[in-house]
DNA sequence: TTGTATGCGTTATCAA
DNA sequence: TTGATAACGCATACAA
């Protein structure tokens, strides 16, 4: 049975009162050194363990934080969660995870559930389909710290941790330009999401900075999967003035693009260079490894956790912090025959 | 502020007592229909939400379960967690995740923490290094349901969910035999872990069933990474009677093997067939896709969750259940030029 | 059917 | 320095 030892048991054993035991256990200054050590010793002897529910009821804090992502088994998100867990565990917090399946309805419900469970904070990446912000306002109203990572919404009072997607798009495109490409296409996913919008803008800016005219026909809106990449290439290669490179906002689409190019007999990277985005694990494992932009998701998770912790330190004032991490270009074979050799060593 | 509405507030507003409110809200039969609806309505109107801490303190149940894995950002584990979450969320449970980093010390500490947090159950995959079982005994003694998945320890009273690794090893090896291979090597990882031991035994049994003599020199103990696979091939191909196939208990080692074979000019699969294990995402994305054994991790997670739920239904009796899922061979290019075409469509 | 009283395990306030 | 008591919010045994 769950015969847990309470401070009353200790008190009884020592012929003192529970209040004294509590004080001894909590480093309360108003207690003699003698009783303190005595209490601590017998507590250990009796295998005392604090009842967290009672503490939670008393203090109003659960020492749990909720993390909400579309799917946990996506490398990007599970890596972020890893970062969060590693940062928060040593501070005594437990991480509760929930998935939205990219469904706003589920997201709203989940957030409400987390609030009901009285988590001390919510860290999340918003679903693609989310437009309404009611549920986030509710979180703020309940005075629970809210931190967005990667996929954010601009809400007053909500801290955010992102990578600089604009810069990501910029360095990816600039790299292709540096490699001698002049007709650079771009595969984007969903311009309603800021991350894709900014990558697109970085792409345009890089073209502009290097005197390459922007061409609407080079922009393909796709999904983030292999099939989408194949279709994109099919469409692009039919153009009169077909591109000689593509910057894909998705690694999966980049992979599909490469497969389709190979099928069409177009040599990658010599005749056509490809750059993806996200540094999915598979990009480095391919025989033709894929150049991509790393988002350091573990670091992003740690940062989100740190922002939360900061907020907890100052429960009175509303801190609103915007952290932007720098993306890193990882050059591999799909865009650079020269560096191919160096990048093979995994 | 966190001015939460309590049942006392509702009681006051309705000029009744908190007990009545509580009864109305909990579908207690001892109450009139009239007051019930009245209470429920005003509760909704006042935005009442149950305080979970009070409930937890009263009932001793947190509605949280702890899930412990070595690393959450491994595809296999994050997929299991996904399954657990999807099964448990609808039942009102929240999933707390913790990582052990394959460190027994951390594992012990984590389990203790979870116990302190008074989770209603612990679902876990044990760390590679774990020998001592003290911390598991503690869980049982506290009467908390414990379910092991994939990497298990035999402990009385602990339910387990695994895949049939023996069968996995068997069908992988049999497939290679069916493809005409006769000198089949095996790369294993850590025979101290049951999963690898059973895969190895399945391999031996398959050889035996088909009249192929077992050769100690074909067995390589490696790590589960690319480098290990390369080293394994280097060693194997130096043998007088070099193998013509390898069944690797790790997809990563299988990939390393393929890379090294390619470097050595050995044609895969025509001259040498390779089969991995786990169905890591990258295995299907390679140009030379890798034949592997799928463990249906999401299903495994769901099953572990279901076993936990069953246990919760019967808190009085100790249920001990052993569930074994069937692995599925996924034939791809690395072992079968014939089926290569069909398997390309991802 | 409803009200009263108590306990779940802690911590904090006040008094001694 | 320690003890007594109340409070956190809820559920329930018992009384009415």
Residue length of chain A:
346
Cα–Cα distance measured from residue B184 to residue A325, given in angstroms and rounded to the nearest whole number: 48
Q: How far is the CA of B16 from the C1' of D13 (A)?
A: 19
Q: Which helix (H) or strand (E) holds A84?
A: helix A75-88
Asked if A98 reaches chain B (Cβ–Cβ under 8 Å), the answer is yes
* Identity of the residue in B71, B99, B255 whose CB atom sits nearest the CB atom of A285: B255
**Are β-strands A94-99 and A64-69 bridged in parallel, bridged antiparallel, or unpaired?**
parallel
Q: Which nucleotide is nearest to A55 (CA to C1')?
A: C10
Residues A165-295+330-345, CATH architecture: 3-Layer(aba) Sandwich (3.40)
Residues 6+ apart with CB under 8 A from A314: none
CB contact under 8 A, B73 and A81: yes
Cα–Cα distance measured from residue B140 to residue B146, given in angstroms and rounded to the nearest whole number: 7
Cα–Cα distance measured from residue A125 to residue A149, given in angstroms and rounded to the nearest whole number: 5
Angle ∠(B327,B330,B335) on CA atoms, nearest 5: 125
| Both tokens assigned to B345 | 């469509």
In Å, how far are A170, A247, A334, B26, B239 from A267, measured between CA atoms? 24, 16, 10, 68, 37
Domain boundaries, chain A: 7-50, 62-162+296-325, 165-295+330-345
Per-residue pLDDT at B340: 39
Rounding to the nearest 10 degrees, give the CA dihedral for residues A248, A254, A259, A260.
-20
Asked if B95 reaches chain A (Cβ–Cβ under 8 Å), the answer is yes
A61 to chain B: which residues are within 8 Å by CB?
A: none
Asked if the domains A62-162+296-325 and A165-295+330-345 are classified in one and the same CATH topology, the answer is yes
CB contact under 8 A, B89 and A96: no
Q: Distance (Å) from the C-alpha of residue A214 to the closest C-alpha of chain B?
A: 32
Residue to test with chain A: of B74, B122, B285, most A Cβ within 10 A: B285
CB contact under 8 A, B99 and A85: yes
pTM of the entire predicted model:
0.92
* Identity of the residue in A57, A85, A288 whose CB atom sits nearest the CB atom of B54: A57
Residue length of chain B:
346
* Residue A333, strand partner residues: none
CB contact under 8 A, A60 and B95: no
Let me know if A284 is exposed, middle or buried by CB neighbors in 10 A (0-12, 13-18, 19+): middle
Per-residue pLDDT at A337: 67
Cα–Cα distance measured from residue B199 to residue B303, given in angstroms and rounded to the nearest whole number: 21
User: What topology is assigned to B62-162+296-325 in CATH?
Assistant: Rossmann fold (3.40.50)
Instruction: Give the pLDDT band of residue B151 (cuts 50, 70, 90).
Output: very high
Chain A: residue whose CA lies nearest to B298: A73
Asked if B173 reaches chain A (Cβ–Cβ under 8 Å), the answer is no
Q: What is the pLDDT of residues B122-142, one digit of tens each?
A: 999 999 888 899 999 999 988
A265 SS3 class: coil
Per-residue pLDDT at B30: 83
Q: What is the pLDDT of residues B183-201, one digit of tens each?
A: 999 999 989 889 999 999 9
Residue to test with chain A: of B54, B68, B94, most A Cβ within 10 A: B94
In Å, how far are A215, B129, B135, B312 from B61, measured between CA atoms? 61, 31, 21, 11
Strand D at less than 7 A from CB of B18: yes
Residues A277, A281, A283, A284: is their CA dihedral positive or negative? positive
- Report the greatest alpha carbon distance in chain B: 93
Let me know if B44 is exposed, middle or buried by CB neighbors in 10 A (0-12, 13-18, 19+): exposed
Asked if B300 reaches chain A (Cβ–Cβ under 8 Å), the answer is no
Q: What is the pLDDT of residues B88-127, one digit of tens each?
A: 999 999 999 999 999 999 999 999 999 999 999 999 999 9
Q: Is the pLDDT of residue B288 over 70?
A: yes
* Identity of the residue in A82, A97, A282 whose CB atom sits nearest the CB atom of B95: A97
Chain A: residue whose CA lies nearest to B256: A285
Strand D at less than 7 A from CB of A53: no
Per-residue pLDDT at B28: 84
Q: What is the mean pLDDT of residues B56-73?
A: 95
A118 to chain B: which residues are within 8 Å by CB?
A: 51-53
CATH number among 1.10.730.10, 3.40.50.720, 1.10.260.40, 3.50.50.60, domain B7-50: 1.10.260.40
Per-residue pLDDT at B337: 66
Q: What is the pLDDT along chain A (346 residues), one digit of tens a residue?
A: 346 889 999 998 899 998 999 999 988 888 888 889 999 999 999 989 999 999 999 988 999 999 999 999 999 999 999 999 999 999 999 999 999 999 999 999 999 999 999 999 999 999 988 889 999 999 998 889 999 999 999 999 899 999 999 999 999 999 999 999 999 999 999 898 899 999 999 999 999 999 999 999 999 998 889 999 999 999 999 999 999 999 999 999 999 999 999 999 999 999 999 999 999 999 999 989 999 999 999 999 999 999 999 999 876 677 789 999 999 999 999 998 654 334 433 3
Per-residue pLDDT at A340: 39
Q: Distance (Å) from the C-alpha of residue B206 to the closest C-alpha of chain A?
A: 30
């Amino acid at each position: 049975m769950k015969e847990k030892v309470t401070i009353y048991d200790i008190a009884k054993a020592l012929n003192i009162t529970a209040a004294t035991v509590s004080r001894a256990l909590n480093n309360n200054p108003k207690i003699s050194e003698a009783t303190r050590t005595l209490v601590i010793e017998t507590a250990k002897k009796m295998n005392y363990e604090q009842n967290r529910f009672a503490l939670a009821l008393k203090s109003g804090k659960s020492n749990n934080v909720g993390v909400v992502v579309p799917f946990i088994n996506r490398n990007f998100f599970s890596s972020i969660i890893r970062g969060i867990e590693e940062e928060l565990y040593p501070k005594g917090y437990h991480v509760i995870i929930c998935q939205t399946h990219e469904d706003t309805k589920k997201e709203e419900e989940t957030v409400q559930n987390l609030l009901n469970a009285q988590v001390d904070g919510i860290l999340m990446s918003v679903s693609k389909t989310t437009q309404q912000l009611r549920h986030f306002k509710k979180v703020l109203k309940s005075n629970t710290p809210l931190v967005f990572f990667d996929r954010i919404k601009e809400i007053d009072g909500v801290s955010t941790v992102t990578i600089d997607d604009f810069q990501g798009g910029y360095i990816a495109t600039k790299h292709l330009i540096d490699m001698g490409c002049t007709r650079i296409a771009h595969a984007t996913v969903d311009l309603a999401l800021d991350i894709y919008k900014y990558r697109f803008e970085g792409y345009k800016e890089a073209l502009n900075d290097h005197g390459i005219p922007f061409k609407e026909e080079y922009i393909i809106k796709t999904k983030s999967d292999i099939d989408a990449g194949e279709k994109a290439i099919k469409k692009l290669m039919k153009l009169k003035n077909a591109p000689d490179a593509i910057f894909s906002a998705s690694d999966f689409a980049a992979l599909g693009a490469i497969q389709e190019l190979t099928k069409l007999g177009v040599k990658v990277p010599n005749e056509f260079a490809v750059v993806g985005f996200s540094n999915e694990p598979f990009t480095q494992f391919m025989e033709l490894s894929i150049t991509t932009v790393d988002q350091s998701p573990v670091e992003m998770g740690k940062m989100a956790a740190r922002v939360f912790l900061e907020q907890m330190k100052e429960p009175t004032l509303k801190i609103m912090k915007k952290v932007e991490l720098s993306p890193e270009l990882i050059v591999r074979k799909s865009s650079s025959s020269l560096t191919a050799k160096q990048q093979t060593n995994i």
